[in-house]
């Protein structure tokens, strides 16, 4: 039963019981109506309390139902809410944990609300490309005021109930015994006989028109690629200007429209993809996690320092090892500076800075790592250096300690073989800056034990990362794919494009940064070093030579004041560089290529489909377990536009048949340039299937 029914001294208590977050799926909606009917039919019941559990009152409509027949089956959420609102006996919501989206809308349809002050209250639908579709845009402004409602609905960000205590939303905000307080309100309401309905409340604002005009301009500017925020605002405007029922109609129409948009579908894919990434096919709940209380980090450089900060932020003591005192002190000073910068911006208090710094145990000795439960190394990317580190770790680390390498390019199985305990070794590939970037690739070696992998994934969540499992291969998921993308970008320069055109096209598509601006930020010397290795290891792999020419000039990017673009001191703006343009044109001439005008569409297709094809190979090889894992890597770590859902989802939405046809077109005259379609892609395209089922 998804709703438990009981009575206590004349008060019916309906408890939502649909774990994990009391999503309002069909069963639960039916259960709610049944409970309501039973309470109304029972003459001994004088009032009704609806509650959830400590984790959640309700996380909202069941998102898994969207697009399925159940979503539209009666009783729908608006029907349920209307029934509670119409109830002849007072209904009180007792809120603990979460009241989000449809969950909050349900509570808004009741006559009174009581909340634990820590309960998270919000209408996050906009984050799924939607608007609150069960009366939230109409009732919430009536309950909390126009400005708070606009801010919360358009941003989707929840706030603790305590912050809304002064509004009309709650009758009581309590520190404990929420249910007890709700029963007390129920008794008072039953005694008074009044049935307070939010729909009858007025939206008071001295200048609603002016405020909405201002909000419209701000929202339009900030949400060019998302239709939902403006729709939220339009629905709220209807709440201000129209009778309640007309406003509800406007809201419902907008919801029906938004749920069909590609943006909403992509955002929902991202939501579920992120959660699915944490589920590993052969690891179930029977796998017990290893306990991690103390962390060791080897290397206090940019990467090691950033990695350490992740754990410090989550309250783990971190032993930070360096090879010499100077490097150690520099590393500590950088961490402190980063924290102090956060404090200056008001994100941390000075006590928090000291508390985090106080969790660091700086050391020059491997012996200090003997009690660590997890040790992450972030030392130089060379097997000999890794070998030295892992041999020493094998000697000092306690039994059962997890040994992680932050390598981005080396073979984790080979690294594991430097130890006598390869089952305890795995990769934890953080992205720079490691304390900021959400993505973490967790690299499962051949021998990695299940509990080691499961523990690393759980820790990733604890430190706020979006973790995706990758198998062992050169570049793992993200970098292996980006190499094909960068190659295409290079070939486009040879054929007629300039960096600024390629970047503009990709940024218009929605990437945070085009490939050349990205190269200038990351450092062109890094790609150069990889290509030099490739020339030896994979001589058949061709590249445009322009990137080498740019690097040979010492134009490594922002850090040298020049790269694909020119930079001015203290200014990160990328200015097109006549030197680079000339170099590109000369290169085309040397290759005997007659430069041609290249459309933005071709640029986007070639770069994105290069990602897609390599992604298909990764799936086929089992390096990535599912297409959504690849999408999450690109959404969380590579600036792929989230409203397009990641490269594999995007390919699905274009249609794999069309993607394959385009690839075959590009293959003509571009032999050997990554246009050998992956067999999986061909199979799916020809059978009318997609990557994401």
| 209 in catalytic set | no
Closest approach of ligand 3H9 to the CB of residue 106, in Å:
9
Q: Name the active-site residue from 85, 96, 125, 483.
A: 125
Q: Which is nearer to ligand 3H9, 122 or 306 (CB)?
A: 122
DSSP states of 569-603 as a string?
A: TTEEEEEE-HHHHHHHHHHHHHHT-------HHHH
Beta bridge partners of 121: 99, 159
Span interacting with ligand 3H9, options 19-27, 364-372, 435-443, 626-634, rule CB under 6 A: 19-27
Q: Which residue has the tokens 């001015």?
A: 568
Nearest residue to ligand 3H9, by Cβ distance, number only: 101
Footprint of ligand 3H9 on residues 131-150 (CB under 6 A)?
132-134, 136
User: Which CB sits closer to ligand 3H9, 63 or 467?
Assistant: 63
How far from chain centre, in Å, is Cα 199? 35
Least distance to ligand 3H9 from the beta carbon of 75, Å?
11
Closest CB 276 distance from ligand 3H9, rounded Å: 7
From the list 542, 516, 545, 514, the residue with the least C-alpha distance to 528 is: 545
What single DSSP character describes residue 525? H
247 forms part of the interface with ligand 3H9 (CB under 6 A): no
From the number of C-beta atoms within 10 Å of its C-beta (0-12, 13-18, 19+), residue 166 rates as: exposed
Is the CB of 129 or the CB of 299 nearer to ligand 3H9?
A: 129
> Please, what is the minimum distance in Å from the beta carbon of residue 48 to ligand 3H9?
22
Least distance to ligand 3H9, CB of residue 174, Å? 21
Closer to ligand 3H9 by CB, 61 or 164: give it.
Answer: 61
Report d(CA 682, CA 672) in Å as an integer: 18
Q: Which of these ranges, 15-23, 214-222, 351-359, 532-540, lies near ligand 3H9 under the rule CB under 6 A? A: 15-23
Convert 224-262 to b/e letters by CB count within 10 Å (16 or more is b): eebbbbbbbbbbbbbbbeeebeebbebbbebbeebbebe
> Nearer to ligand 3H9 by C-beta: 227 or 515?
227
Q: Of the residues 6, 70, 74, 105, which is catalytic?
A: 105
SS3 annotation, 79-117: HHHHHHHHCCCCEEEEECCEEECHHHHHHHCCCEEEEEC
Tell me, yes or no, if 105 is annotated catalytic: yes
Phi, psi of 375 (to 5 degrees): -125, 125
CB atoms inside a 10 Å sphere around CB 33: 17
Stretch of residues binding ligand 3H9 (CB under 6 A), selected from 129-137, 221-229, 585-593, 637-645: 129-137
Site for ligand 3H9 in 273-332 (CB under 6 A): 275
State the CB neighbour count (10 A cutoff) for residue 570: 5
Q: At its nearest, how many Å lie between ligand 3H9 and the CB of residue 134? A: 4
Site string for ligand 3H9, 422-461 (x = CB under 6 A): ----------------------------------------
On whether the CB atoms of residues 65 and 40 are closer than 8 A, the answer is no
Among 124, 305, 519, 615, binds ligand 3H9 (CB under 6 A): 124
Which CB sits closer to ligand 3H9, 94 or 100? 100
**Nearest-CA neighbor of 260 among 231, 219, 289, 218?**
231
Among 116, 125, 251, 548, binds ligand 3H9 (CB under 6 A): 125
Residues between 56 and 115 that touch ligand 3H9 (CB under 6 A): 59-64, 77, 98, 100-102, 105
Rounded to the nearest whole angstrom, what is the least distance from the CB of residue 630 to ligand 3H9 in the complex? 18
Question: Looking up tokens 């039994």, which residue turns up?
Answer: 399
Q: Cβ contacts of residue 21 below 8 Å, gap of 6+?
A: 55, 56, 58, 59, 98
Whichever of 274 and 373 has its CB closer to ligand 3H9, that residue is 274
Distance of CA 26 to the CA centre of its chain: 28
Token pair listed for 363: 């050391």
Which one, of 59, 57, 54, 105, lies nearest residue 79 by Cα? 105
- Compare residues 124 and 557 and give the one whose CB is closer to ligand 3H9: 124
Min separation Cβ 459 and ligand 3H9, Å = 15
Find residue 575's DSSP bridge partners: 566
CB of 197 to ligand 3H9, least distance (A): 19
Stretch that binds ligand 3H9, among 37-45, 55-63, 376-384, 667-675 (CB under 6 A): 55-63
Q: Tell me, by CB under 6 A, how many residues bind ligand 3H9.
A: 23
Whole-angstrom Cα distance, residue 239 to residue 255? 15
**CA separation, residue 586 to residues 102, 496, 502, 546, 593 (Å):** 61, 11, 18, 10, 10
Name the minimum Å distance from CB 269 to ligand 3H9: 13
Residue (29 or 172) nearer to ligand 3H9, CB: 29
Which is nearer to ligand 3H9, 98 or 372 (by Cβ)? 98
DSSP line for 444-490:
--SS--HHHHHHHHHHHHHTT-EEEEE-SSTTHHHHHHHHHHHHHHH
Question: What are the residues binding ligand 3H9 (CB under 6 A)?
Answer: 20-21, 23, 59-64, 77, 98, 100-102, 105, 124-125, 128, 132-134, 136, 275
**Catalytic residue set:** 105, 125
């Amino acid at each position: 039963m998804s709703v438990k029914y009981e009575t206590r001294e004349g008060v019916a208590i309906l408890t939502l019981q649909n774990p994990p977050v009391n999503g309002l799926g069909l069963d639960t909606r039916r259960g709610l109506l049944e409970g309501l009917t039973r309470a109304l039919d029972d003459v001994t019941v004088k009032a009704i309390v609806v509650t959830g559990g400590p984790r959640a009152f309700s996380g909202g409509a069941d998102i898994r139902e969207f697009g399925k027949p159940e979503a539209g089956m009666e009783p729908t959420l608006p029907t349920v809410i209307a029934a509670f609102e119409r109830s002849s006996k007072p209904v009180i919501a007792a809120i603990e944990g979460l009241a989000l989206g449809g969950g909050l809308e349900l509570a808004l349809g009741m006559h009174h609300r009581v909340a634990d002050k820590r309960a998270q209250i919000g209408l996050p639908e906009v984050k799924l490309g939607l608007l609150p579709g069960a009366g939230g845009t109409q009732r919430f402004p009536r309950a909390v005021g126009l400005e708070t409602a606009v801010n919360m609905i358009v941003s989707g960000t929840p706030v603790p109930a305590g912050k809304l205590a002064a509004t009309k939303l709650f009758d009581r905000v309590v520190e404990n015994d929420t249910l007890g307080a709700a029963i007390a309100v129920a008794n008072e309401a039953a005694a008074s006989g009044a049935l307070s309905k939010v729909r009858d409340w007025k939206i008071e604002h001295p200048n609603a028109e002016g405020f909405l005009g201002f909000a419209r301009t701000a929202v339009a500017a900030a949400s060019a690629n998302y239709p939902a925020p403006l729709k939220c605002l339009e629905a709220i405007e209807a709440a201000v200007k129209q009778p309640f029922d007309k406003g509800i109609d406007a809201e419902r129409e907008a919801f029906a429209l938004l749920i069909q948009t590609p943006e909403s579908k992509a955002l929902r894919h991202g939501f579920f993809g992120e959660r699915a990434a944490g589920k590993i096919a052969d690891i179930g709940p029977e796998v017990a996690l290893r306990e991690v209380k103390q962390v060791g980090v080897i290397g206090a450089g940019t990467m090691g320092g950033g990695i350490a900060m992740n754990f410090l932020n989550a309250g783990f003591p971190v032993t930070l090892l360096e090879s010499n005192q100077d490097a150690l002190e520099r590393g500590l000073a950088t961490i402190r500076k980063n924290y102090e910068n956060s404090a200056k911006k008001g994100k941390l208090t000075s006590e928090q800075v000291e508390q985090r710094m106080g969790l660091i145990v700086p050391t020059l000795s491997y012996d200090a790592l003997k009690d660590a439960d997890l040790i992450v190394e972030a030392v130089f990317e060379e097997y000999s250096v890794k070998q030295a580190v892992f041999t020493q770790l094998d000697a000092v680390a306690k039994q059962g300690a997890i040994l992680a390498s932050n390598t981005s390019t080396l073979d984790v199985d080979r690294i594991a073989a430097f130890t006598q305990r390869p089952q305890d070794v795995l990769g934890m590939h953080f992205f720079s800056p490691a304390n900021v970037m959400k993505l973490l690739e967790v690299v499962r070696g051949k021998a990695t034990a299940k509990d080691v992998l499961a523990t690393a994934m759980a820790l990733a969540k604890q430190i706020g990362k979006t973790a995706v499992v990758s198998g062992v291969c050169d570049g793992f998921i993200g970098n292996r794919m980006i190499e094909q993308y960068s190659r295409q970008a290079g070939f486009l320069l040879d054929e007629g494009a300039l960096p600024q055109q390629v970047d503009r096209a990709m940024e218009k598509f929605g990437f945070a940064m085009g490939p050349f601006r990205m190269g200038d930020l990351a450092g062109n010397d890094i790609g150069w070093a990889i290509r030099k290795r490739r020339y030896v290891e994979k001589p058949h792999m061709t590249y445009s030579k322009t990137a080498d020419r740019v690097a040979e000039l010492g134009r490594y990017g922002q850090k040298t004041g020049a790269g694909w673009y020119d930079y001015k001191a203290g200014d990160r703006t990328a200015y097109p560089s006549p030197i680079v343009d000339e170099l590109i044109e000369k290169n085309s001439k040397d290759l005997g290529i007659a430069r041609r005008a290249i459309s933005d569409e071709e640029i986007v297709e070639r770069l994105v489909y290069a990602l897609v094809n390599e992604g298909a190979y990764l799936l086929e090889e089992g390096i990535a377990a599912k297409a959504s894992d690849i999408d999450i890597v690109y959404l969380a770590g590579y600036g792929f536009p989230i409203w397009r859902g990641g490269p594999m989802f995007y390919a699905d939405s274009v249609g794999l048949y069309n993607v394959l046809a385009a690839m075959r077109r590009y293959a003509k005259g571009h032999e050997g340039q990554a246009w050998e379609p992956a067999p999986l892609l061909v199979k799916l395209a020809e059978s009318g299937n997609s990557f994401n089922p």
